[in-house]
């Protein structure tokens, strides 16, 4: 997708670093292929399907990694509170989806989560947990509802999803903490900006 389709004010706010200039074209090229890889069924092995489900869709991967990245940049209790809140809310949303309970606007909310979480990481926002956790919970519910609606709600499928989600959160945490430790917090924030831009690319795709 050509960059002119992205809103100029949003692009301006990210202060396009050399890292973003290098990673954005690749992200834009890969997004459609990754999105199409997202499965719509659990297959024969529910646990294996649950493990593969979050990592086979760019929308889920980007949001879950961004949660860990933001938590790393926020620091303190956010290191564990943000990922655990997302997972708990995702489980609740998954149960609702498996039960067939409707949740309007799931897909737009998933796309919004990528952009919002990426922006939060890019700006290294450090709001109070009282303000941040409810927003993370809303995003987690949306992702969980999508999983539950597609997976049939089996315990094995849910366990697989939770493990995969925890791994993606840890990947974001490790990236953010590792880069910050070696004095590359700007690179970590650049990854957040690239995530938000990838979310915009998915939204406009």
Stretches where the chain sits below pLDDT 50 are 1-43
In this prediction, residue 153 carries a pLDDT of 66
Distance CA 34, CA 166 (A): 20
What pLDDT, on the 0 to 100 scale, is given for residue 11?
A: 34
Q: What is the pLDDT of residues 24-39, one digit of tens each?
A: 443 343 344 333 334 4
Residue 137: inside a domain, yes or no?
A: yes
Q: What is the pTM of this model?
A: 0.77
Into how many domains does the chain fold?
Answer: 1
Domain that holds residue 154: 46-204
Chain mean position to CA 134: 16
Nearest CA-CA partner of 119 in 174, 2, 37, 197: 197
The C-alpha angle with vertex 202 and arms to 22 and 146, in degrees rounded to 5, equals 130
- How far apart (Å, rounded) are the C-alpha atoms in residues 65 and 69? 6
Q: Which pLDDT does position 13 carry in this prediction?
A: 38
CA–centroid distance for 82 within its chain: 12
Q: What is the pLDDT of residue 151?
A: 65
Asked if the structure places residue 27 within a domain, the reply is no
Q: Is residue 13 part of a domain?
A: no
Does residue 32 lie in a domain region? Answer: no
* CA distance linking residue 58 with residue 99, whole number of Å: 25
| Domain assignment of residue 29, yes or no | no
Query: Token pair 């303000």 is at which residue?
Result: 131
Q: Please check whether residue 140 lies inside any domain of the structure.
A: yes
Provide the token pair at 135. 């927003």
């Amino acid at each position: 997708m050509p960059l002119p389709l992205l809103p100029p004010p949003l692009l301006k706010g990210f202060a396009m670093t050399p890292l973003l200039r290098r990673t954005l074209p690749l992200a834009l090229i890969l997004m459609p292929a990754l999105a199409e890889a997202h499965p719509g069924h659990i297959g024969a092995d529910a646990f294996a399907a649950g493990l593969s489900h979050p990592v086979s869709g760019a929308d889920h991967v980007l949001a879950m990694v961004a949660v860990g990245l933001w938590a790393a940049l926020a620091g303190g209790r956010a290191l564990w509170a943000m990922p655990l809140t997302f997972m708990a809310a995702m489980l609740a949303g998954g149960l609702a989806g498996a039960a067939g309970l409707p949740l309007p606007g799931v897909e737009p909310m998933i796309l919004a989560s990528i952009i919002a979480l990426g922006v939060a990481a890019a700006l290294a926002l450090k709001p109070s947990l009282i303000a941040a956790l409810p927003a993370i919970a809303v995003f987690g519910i949306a992702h969980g509802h999508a999983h539950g609606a597609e997976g049939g709600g089996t315990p094995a499928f849910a366990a697989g999803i939770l493990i995969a989600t925890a791994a993606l959160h840890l990947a974001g945490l490790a990236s953010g903490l590792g880069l910050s430790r070696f004095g590359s917090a700007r690179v970590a924030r650049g990854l957040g900006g690239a995530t938000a831009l990838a979310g915009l690319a998915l939204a406009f795709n």
